[in-house]
Amino acid sequence: MFRFFHVVLLLFSFPNNSCIPTLLYGLGSWFFARVTETVHTSHGPVTIYFLNKEDEGAMY
């Protein structure tokens, strides 16, 4: 377990423009994106993935 945190610390010790944190966030969100919506465009249907379901009656 210590080695795992050591590797994470090394990955995040690079400068902020290394894109590692953004890449890890994007890869992690792939596992949780379960809600989909299909939008029809002039080039065909596009499927959009969301992390949480929209509240239909929400004011904002």
Kindly report, residue by residue over 13-47, the tens digit of the pLDDT.
665 556 777 788 888 888 888 899 999 999 999 99
For the entire predicted model, the pTM comes to 0.51
Averaged pLDDT for residues 2-11: 76
Supply the pLDDT for residue 9: 73
Host H or E run for residue 33:
none
Supply the pLDDT for residue 48: 92
Q: What are phi and psi of 13, to 5 degrees?
A: -85, -10
Q: What is the DSSP letter of 53?
A: -
31-46 burial by CB neighbour count: b if 16+ within 10 A, else e?
A: eeeeeeeeeeeeeeee
Structural tokens at position 6: 């050591």
Whether the CB-CB separation of 14 and 22 falls below 8 Å is answered with: no
